[in-house]
């Protein structure tokens, strides 16, 4: 049994709960850029893409270009995007991470990304950030992916993947998607 969905009512509820939750979203962002959970808390609307999901052609072209520019395996970039945003350029997390590669506003600013919802800027900045993490951790993909999720300080503090359930799940999922897409895209 499916319930009727009143998008306008959901958008009014979001605005009434916290008008800042929709701040910064482009006017043409999907209505479900944020959903409201039963407890009134905002939750991301985008679920990670299923394992092996293919990026839309336009996003794939951006990934290929940025990956070549920064010397990162495009399959790794795709795996991160799949987990971070499910290939939704307007994805926004409850913590404020934005766009395809879910850049935090401060990180986006440091990377020179002026519009994190612009797919080209986001993928370029996110791939450059991923390259810096790979360099920082001597090419160790597992640690770089963990740092993308938990921050490089946490990876250094624990000398590896931090013991956070979310980060451990994130790393396992990204690496599984990376392994499965490496063979299908190369």
Enclosing H/E stretch for 131 = helix 119-136
**C-alpha span between 128 and 116 (Å, rounded):** 14
**C-alpha span between 20 and 43 (Å, rounded):** 14
Catalytic residues, by residue number, are: 84
**Integer angstrom CA distances of residue 174 from 54, 79, 154, 167, 179:** 14, 5, 18, 10, 9
């Amino acid at each position: 049994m499916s319930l009727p969905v009143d998008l306008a009512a959901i958008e009014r509820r979001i605005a009434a709960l916290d008008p800042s939750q929709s701040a910064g979203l482009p006017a043409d962002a999907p209505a479900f850029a944020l959903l409201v959970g039963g407890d009134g808390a905002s939750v991301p609307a985008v679920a990670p893409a299923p394992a092996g999901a293919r990026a839309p052609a336009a996003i794939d072209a951006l990934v290929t270009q940025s990956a070549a520019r920064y010397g990162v395996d495009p399959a790794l970039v795709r795996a991160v995007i799949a987990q971070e945003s499910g290939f939704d350029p307007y994805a926004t997390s409850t913590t404020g991470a934005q766009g395809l590669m879910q850049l935090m506003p401060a990180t986006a600013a440091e990377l020179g990304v002026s519009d994190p919802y612009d797919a080209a800027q986001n993928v370029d900045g996110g791939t450059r950030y991923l390259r810096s993490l790979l360099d920082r951790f001597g090419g160790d993909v597992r640690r770089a992916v963990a740092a993308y999720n938990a921050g490089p300080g946490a990876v250094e503090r624990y000398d590896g993947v931090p013991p956070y359930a979310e980060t451990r799940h994130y790393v396992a999922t990204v690496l599984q998607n990376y392994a499965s897409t490496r063979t299908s895209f190369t």
